[in-house]
Amino acid sequence: MEKVMLSVLLAALLGFVLLFVGLFLGMSFYVGREKTSPFECGFDPMGSSRVPFSLRFFLLAVIFVVFDVEIVLLFPVVMVVGGSSVWISSYSALLVFLVLLFGGVIHEWREGSLEWEM
């Protein structure tokens, strides 16, 4: 019981010491425009809010997120298919998923959404 109490006391003491060291070493006395404003993806938050935004950049970012999520969904399917006893239906489901994914990439490519410059 004494060892447990000593461990808890040392852990609490170490936590407080690290907290105060971080507070004192992390203090910055510089207060300026950049320090007090939020960072918004490279846009100047103090400037005009009517700056034109590149729609092609937004479309490319959305396409990236969609295909990235599909690839993340593909990883568990590969793990399940490898250990499945019903391999024909598992592989056919995986093949359908990959064909749909590849079809989406081909569609975006033909539409020109993946082209950065016109």
pLDDT in tens, 65-100: 888 888 787 777 777 766 666 667 777 877 888 898
What is this structure's pTM? 0.45
Residue in 72, 78, 73, 70 with CA at minimum distance from that of residue 104: 70
Q: For residue 13, what pLDDT band results from cuts at 50, 70 and 90?
A: very high
Mean pLDDT value across the chain: 78
Q: What angle do CA 98, 101, 107 make, to 5 degrees?
A: 140
Name the token pair of 7: 């461990």
Residues 11 and 19: beta-carbon distance below 8 Å: no
DSSP class of 45: T
